[in-house]
């Protein structure tokens, strides 16, 4: 399988008022094209630091990262990010928010009509076709996240990076969006890197769960291979002993091997 992301011996230091802080130490892993990977670990272990490195928002202190065999030297549309707080511009409609990204990436390769069609197609893909002229203030939190996902997908990224995209949503809305992401993944075979605190979410959505040790000097402690067949159905999995076993392995890692004081 083709490696789309390579993280090679990456360490990340930050200068702080009390001296240098080693957040990540010697992290290495590859992600295959089309894979869904979750990063899970206790708060403050370094998940966002790692995602920011893949996004190219920050550069590593040591080691290197590659996307499609090219060094990651900054942000790029081939690595689109979906944030927890949607980050839509409140004065623009859903259409205009997606257009901002589409115009930036495809201004030269698509004409105006094609771009318009592509924007609407992506909003429809996340069931937001009904709200193209609404502003973020007029739609729910779950809907805003859907528009954020549409905006990211509209860039035709090689990798979709999601930093706790459902963290601020209620359980039902969260479940709907998880299903939407699984559906999109099946349809487009997009590579996804997802940060989550939610063990069920990690197992349900992922092909592999990378479990991070507590910081400082955090790294990937263990990797769980989730070999549950797809498409996955949350109701059927609730009665599947393999699912519970996988879940248990993540819980063991988090609460027995890497416990953290509350
Ligand atoms: N710019 C920075 N300067 C100094 N320290 C930083 C900086 N960014 C992150 N850190 C530290 O690095 C560690 C990892 O932070 P990070 O935000 O990556 O953790 P996280 O696992 O994403 O946390 P959470 O789950 O709470 O979002 C923390 O101790 C944090 O305080």
Q: What is the pTM of this model?
A: 0.94
Candidate from 15, 23, 59, 161 with most ligand 1 atoms within 8 A of CB, to mutate: 23
Give me the pLDDT at residue 37, please. 98
Instruction: Ligand 1, residue 12: give the atom nearest the CA.
Output: 12
Q: What is the mean pLDDT of the chain?
A: 94
Structure confidence at residue 66 as a pLDDT band (50, 70, 90): very high
Does the interface ipTM go beyond 0.95?
yes
Give me the pLDDT at residue 169, please. 86
Structure confidence at residue 262 as a pLDDT band (50, 70, 90): low
Please check the confidence at residue 85 and state whether its pLDDT lies above 80: no
Q: Where does the chain have alpha helices with state H?
A: 47-55, 94-106, 112-125, 141-153, 171-188, 199-205, 234-237, 241-252
Give me the pLDDT at residue 244, please. 97
Give me the pLDDT at residue 34, please. 96
The Cα 219–Cα 237 span in angstroms is 30
Which residues contact ligand 1 via a Cβ below 6 A?
14, 16, 21, 23, 41, 43-49, 215
Residue nearest to atom 30 of ligand 1 (CA): 44
Q: Are 116 and 197 in contact (CB under 8 A)?
A: no
Hey, which residues does 80 pair with through a beta bridge?
160
> pLDDT tens digits, residue range 195-252?
999 999 999 999 999 999 998 999 999 999 999 999 999 999 999 999 999 999 999 9
Of 79 and 262, the structure prediction assigns the larger pLDDT to: 79
Structure confidence at residue 49 as a pLDDT band (50, 70, 90): very high
Please check the confidence at residue 84 and state whether its pLDDT lies above 90: no
Please check the confidence at residue 261 and state whether its pLDDT lies above 80: no
Give me the pLDDT at residue 140, please. 92
Strands 62-67, 220-225: pairing kind: unpaired
The Cα 51–Cα 47 span in angstroms is 6
Residue nearest to atom 26 of ligand 1 (CA): 43
Give me the pLDDT at residue 45, please. 94
Candidate from 10, 18, 19, 21 with most ligand 1 atoms within 8 A of CB, to mutate: 21
> pLDDT tens digits, residue range 92-121?
999 999 999 999 999 999 999 999 999 999
């Amino acid at each position: 399988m083709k490696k789309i992301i390579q993280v090679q011996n990456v360490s990340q230091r930050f200068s702080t008022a009390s001296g240098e802080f080693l957040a990540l130490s010697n992290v290495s892993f590859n992600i295959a094209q089309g894979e869904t990977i979750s990063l899970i670990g206790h708060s403050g272990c370094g998940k966002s630091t790692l995602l920011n490195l893949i996004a190219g928002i920050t550069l590593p202190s040591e080691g290197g990262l590659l996307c499609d065999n090219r060094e990651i030297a900054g942000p790029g549309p081939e690595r689109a990010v979906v944030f927890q707080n949607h980050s839509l511009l409140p004065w623009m409609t859903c259409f205009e928010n997606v257009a901002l990204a589409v115009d930036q990436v495809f201004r030269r390769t698509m004409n105006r009509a094609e771009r318009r069609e592509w924007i609407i197609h992506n909003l429809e893909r996340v069931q937001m076709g009904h709200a193209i002229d609404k502003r973020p203030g007029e739609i729910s939190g779950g809907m805003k996240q859907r528009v954020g996902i549409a905006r990211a997908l509209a860039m035709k990224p090689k990798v979709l990076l999601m930093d706790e995209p459902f963290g601020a949503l209620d359980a039902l809305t969260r479940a709907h969006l998880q299903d939407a992401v699984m559906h999109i993944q099946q349809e487009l075979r997009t590579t996804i890197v997802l940060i989550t605190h939610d063990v069920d979410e990690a197992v349900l959505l992922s092909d592999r769960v990378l479990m991070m040790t507590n910081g400082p000097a955090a790294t990937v402690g263990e990797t769980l291979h989730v070999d549950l067949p797809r498409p996955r159905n949350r109701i059927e999995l609730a009665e599947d002993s393999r699912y519970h076993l996988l879940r248990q392995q993540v819980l063991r890692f988090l609460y027995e091997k890497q416990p953290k004081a509350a």
